[in-house]
Amino acid sequence: MSPYSAPRPPKLRERVWAALRPYDPFRSIKAALQYLVLASVLITTGLVFVAMHSATEIRIITIFSIIASLLISQLVAHGLTAPLREMTSVASTMARGDYSRRVTAVRRDEVGELAETFNRMAADLEAVDRHRKELVANVSHELRTPIAALRAVLENVVDGVSEADTETMRTALQQAERLSLLVAHLLDLSRLDNGIVPLDAKRFEVWPYLSAVIKTAGLGLQDGQAPGRRARKDVHLHLDVSPPELTAYADAERLHQVVANLIDNAVKHSPPSGRVTVRARRGGGPGSLDLEVLDEGPGIPESERTRVFERFNRGTAGPGDGGTGLGLAIARWAVDLHGGRIAVAESPRGCRIRVTLPGSTTAPA
């Protein structure tokens, strides 16, 4: 079953149809046909035996034997073909865009297995269709907000309501940067979904690499360069790498996306004068890496910990916080490309997101 969809309870019509179906004691079509032939032979033999010990004519016995064989064949054929007819009906409905119907798989033979596979396929198609509609709706909403703000600023300037001063142009630039960030994130996700993002994994030293990432993130936050985001000079970024000579094996560019997005998310939810810590430790295998980003914010409720990595999910953040709701989704996909794991870990204070990269069996320790 697709992780995006839960099993749908059968409709009343499907439950009634399942109750009306003949009993299915066989686990293969071959066995059902064998028993059908055996039953027909036994019935015919029994009727011939009755004819031999009574005054019944052989032609009457033959007629009764044919009728009995036809009834049994009809019963078995109905049980074998009913799921196929239902699958044809459901497939026709799916072709018209309705993915909610399912086949009532009550048989235990190959036809029943086919019906279960068909239901899984229908569930996956339903999840993909729902995800596509949600993506279009979310993208439309995300694009509409900065476009509307940018249009309002420009209309005020054109109509003479406001002057084209530095502050007004900075507001317009922030909205343009937000649009640019959203488009860049969408392009990243598109490449990741299509599997056209190759990994250029190499061995590198963790301390200088993370130090450069944190320095870049810190400069952007202090200058207020994050689109739509106010400067956060009060948040302190701290790096903790042990041992100092720790090395890892990963794609540096993709890992930069992961760390930068995690830091950006941690800073956004940090309290005044808060502290964000990036912690790196050696993993269980050669070149593997255990990475954690910790903040001192309100944390993430347990019920939301699996949803924060979904696209356009901001949790408790509002739509005007300058984020696109795609940062953690991109981080998850980049980690998945490495074959690693990313999750919200338990923390006595704030939020702690843990990333585990497997490295490579051929990478030096």
Q: Does one domain contain both 148 and 207? A: no
Mean pLDDT of the region 333-354: 87
* Predicted local distance difference test score (pLDDT) of residue 170: 80
Q: Which two tokens stand for residue 242?
A: 């042990």
Given phi > 0 = left and psi -120 to 50 = alpha, else beta, which region is 202?
beta
Q: Which residue is it, tokens 């916080």?
A: 321
pLDDT tens sequence across 26-60:
566 666 677 777 777 777 777 777 767 776 666 77
Q: Does one domain contain both 215 and 338? A: yes
pLDDT tens sequence across 263-286:
888 888 888 888 999 999 998 877
Sign of CA dihedral 170, 172, 175, 181: negative
Neighbours of 341 (CB within 10 A): 13
Q: Does one domain contain both 182 and 227? A: no
Band of pLDDT at residue 107, cut at 50, 70 and 90: low
Q: Is the pTM of this model over 0.85?
A: no
Q: Does one domain contain both 125 and 143? A: no
As a whole number of angstroms, the distance between CA 213 and CA 330 comes to 17
pLDDT at 320 > cutoff 60:
no
Neighbours of 74 (CB within 10 A): 10
| 262: containing domain | 201-357
- Number of structural domains in the chain: 3
* Predicted local distance difference test score (pLDDT) of residue 227: 43
* Predicted local distance difference test score (pLDDT) of residue 4: 38
Give a yes or no: residue 119 inside a domain.
Answer: yes
pLDDT at 91 > cutoff 60:
yes
Q: Does one domain contain both 261 and 231? A: yes
pLDDT tens sequence across 222-260:
554 444 455 567 788 999 999 999 999 998 888 888 898
Give a yes or no: residue 363 inside a domain.
Answer: no
Mean pLDDT lowest among 133-142, 197-206, 290-299: 133-142
- What CA–CA distances, in Å, run from 243 to 96, 205, 240, 260, 347? 60, 11, 9, 22, 23
Give a yes or no: residue 365 inside a domain.
Answer: no
Mean pLDDT lowest among 4-18, 26-40, 197-211, 334-348: 4-18
Q: Does one domain contain both 247 and 152? A: no
Phi and psi torsions of 347, nearest 5°: -150, 135
Query: Which of the listed residues 78, 112, 129 is the one where a domain comes to its end?
Result: 129
Given phi > 0 = left and psi -120 to 50 = alpha, else beta, which region is 350?
left
pLDDT tens sequence across 129-146:
887 777 677 667 667 767
Q: Which two tokens stand for residue 171?
A: 């507001």
Pairing of strands 236-242, 275-282: parallel
More confident residue, 50 or 147: 147
Q: Does one domain contain both 60 and 205? A: no
